[in-house]
Copies of this chain bind each other. A is one copy, B any other.
Amino acid sequence: MTRTQVVIIGGGFGGLTAARSLRQAEVILIDRTNHHLFQPLLYQVATAALSPSDIAWPLRTLFRSHPNVRVLMDDVVSIDRAARMVHLRENTPITFDVLIAAPGSRHAYLGHDEWESFAPGLKTMTDAIQVREQMLLTFENAERRRLVTGVRDRPLTFVIVGGGPTGVELAGALAEIGRKAMGPDFPALRLENLSILLVEAGSRLLPGFDAKLSAKAAGALARMGVKIKLNSPVSTIHADGVMIGQEWVASTNIIWAAGNRAAPLLSTLSAPQDSYGRVKVRPDLTIPDDSSIFVIGDAAHCVGNDGKPLPGLAPVAMQQGHYVAHLINDDIDPDRRQPFAYTDRGMLATIGRAQAVAQFGWLHVSGLFAWLLWCVVHIFFLIGFRNRFRVMSEWVWYYLTFKPGARLLFERPSSPRNSPSTDHGHERGIKDRTQD
């Protein structure tokens, strides 16, 4: 008996859950990296509170006890529905009986792709490391100028575009690290010299949450010194600043948290897509005319009970992955499939130390209690005991000391590699033995 060959594109929350739930099928899980990324905590890597390996876990290790799942690190370039195969960048194509596309989304610039180089987004580990390096270098450069010239610098302005959870969490984390952790380390940075601006085109922060919680979040951020601009669409971004409505704000630290677009790969499916590039799936998460091609996670436009598309949340993706795996495990005929139904278990966003907002059905909470809930939920969902343990100890340490641990700059971007003549080597410190 030949077993069903299932190809899963993407090792995020949806793809990972599907792969883990598939029992009999022969599964090939394709991801461009070698790890599952716990994206909800990516902003903590960007603000140097956590290390990359705290929120990422090698996919192969996660599937050690799943002999039916093979992991392949590669880029899927296109999907050929007729031939039932996916084309890869580095390999010959791979055929499938069933396809689960969970390629996720990427930040998008409202048609202004040229903004990306001035205002990086925050979707991948590479993004987070880039944001972290830029932030740390900004502090280092300000300190260097003061040390050499003797004058305090012009204000450092960080601009975060987008008042959703990522923007709110980034603004809160930056305010904390800037004032409490960087302050003692960089004497040039006094409180009044650091400015964090959170810009939102809509009328309130956290539009997915209840309006009262939005107000609580805005109040908490304001008390931490974050300036909030609502109803303020960004009209242009340059290397040295951003135009917000009619106002020009000078800043070399702009972070984009304002828009997403589903993976371009999806267009090769030739299925209907919405304006965000998400594939409009049927109630069983398949594409029209093909009951063995599923699209899940935030690559899918899946209509919920309220008639609106489900939000791009990790729980949605995980429930969808589980649902699809169940259909495949039990080999359920297309016409006998129950529609996918999302069980909303609530939403959380953290603002800073001991500050968060949470919404569980009728229960809306904020402040310390919401923050503790946030910690518990995130620790609980971190995959693998080891990361849970590390992240928890990291948070306890940071809570007690305000010394975030992941503030490393390896080399300045201007330093050429492999260039011994300009390589003065004085960062190496003392090597440990001479005979190496």
Q: Using CB atoms and an 8 Å cutoff, list the residues of chain A in contact with chain B.
A: 9-16, 28, 30-37, 39-40, 51-54, 56, 58, 60-61, 64, 70-77, 89-92, 94, 102-107, 113, 116-117, 123-126, 129, 136, 140, 143-144, 147-149, 162, 164-167, 184-187, 206-208, 257-260, 263-265, 296-298, 309, 311-314, 316-318, 347, 386-387, 389-390, 393, 397, 401, 403, 405-412, 414-415, 417-418, 420-421, 423-436
In the complex, A9→B430 CA distance in Å? 11
Q: In the complex, are the beta carbons of A164 and B436 less than 8 A apart?
A: yes
Nearest CB of B to A132, in Å: 11
Q: In the complex, are the beta carbons of B428 and A105 less than 8 A apart?
A: yes
The one of B72, B401, B405, B429 that contacts A11, using a Cβ cutoff of 8 Å: B429
The one of B89, B123, B165 that contacts A435, using a Cβ cutoff of 8 Å: B165
What are 29 A-to-B residue pairs whose CB atoms are below 8 Å? Answer: A10-B427, A11-B429, A15-B429, A33-B410, A51-B53, A52-B408, A52-B410, A56-B408, A70-B187, A73-B409, A89-B414, A90-B412, A94-B148, A103-B426, A104-B428, A105-B431, A106-B420, A116-B420, A126-B411, A129-B410, A165-B432, A166-B432, A260-B434, A260-B436, A298-B431, A313-B430, A313-B434, A316-B430, A318-B430
Q: In the complex, are the beta carbons of A70 and B147 less than 8 A apart?
A: yes
Q: If A311-B435, A405-B53, A411-B33 touch, does A429 touch B74 (CB 8 Å cutoff)?
A: no
Interface centre among A14, A90, A386, A436 (most CB of B within 10 A): A436
Q: In the complex, are the beta carbons of B144 and A58 less than 8 A apart?
A: no
Nearest CB of B to A320, in Å: 9
In the complex, A16→B427 CA distance in Å? 11
Give the 4 A-B CB pairs with smallest separation, nearest first. Answer: A12-B429, A103-B426, A317-B430, A104-B428
Contacts of A40 in B (CB 8 A): 432
Q: In the complex, are the beta carbons of A314 and B32 less than 8 A apart?
A: no
Contacts of A423 in B (CB 8 A): 106, 264
**How many copies, total?**
2
Q: In the complex, are the beta carbons of A32 and B412 less than 8 A apart?
A: yes
Interface centre among A167, A389, A426 (most CB of B within 10 A): A426
Contacts of A387 in B (CB 8 A): 405
The one of B70, B105, B207, B429 that contacts A36, using a Cβ cutoff of 8 Å: B429
Q: In the complex, are the beta carbons of B431 and A312 less than 8 A apart?
A: yes
Q: In the complex, are the beta carbons of B407 and A104 less than 8 A apart?
A: no
In the complex, A421→B258 CA distance in Å? 20
Q: In the complex, are the beta carbons of B104 and A185 less than 8 A apart?
A: no
Q: In the complex, are the beta carbons of B433 and A13 less than 8 A apart?
A: no
Q: If A72-B144, A165-B436, A397-B386 touch, does A429 touch B113 (CB 8 Å cutoff)?
A: no
Nearest B residue to A389 by beta-carbon distance? B393
Q: In the complex, are the beta carbons of B412 and A185 less than 8 A apart?
A: no
Q: In the complex, are the beta carbons of B104 and A431 less than 8 A apart?
A: yes
Nearest B residue to A60 by beta-carbon distance? B185
Q: In the complex, are the beta carbons of B432 and A405 less than 8 A apart?
A: no
Contacts of A421 in B (CB 8 A): 264
The one of B147, B313, B397, B435 that contacts A208, using a Cβ cutoff of 8 Å: B435
In the complex, A409→B91 CA distance in Å? 18
In the complex, A407→B58 CA distance in Å? 7
Nearest CB of B to A142, in Å: 11
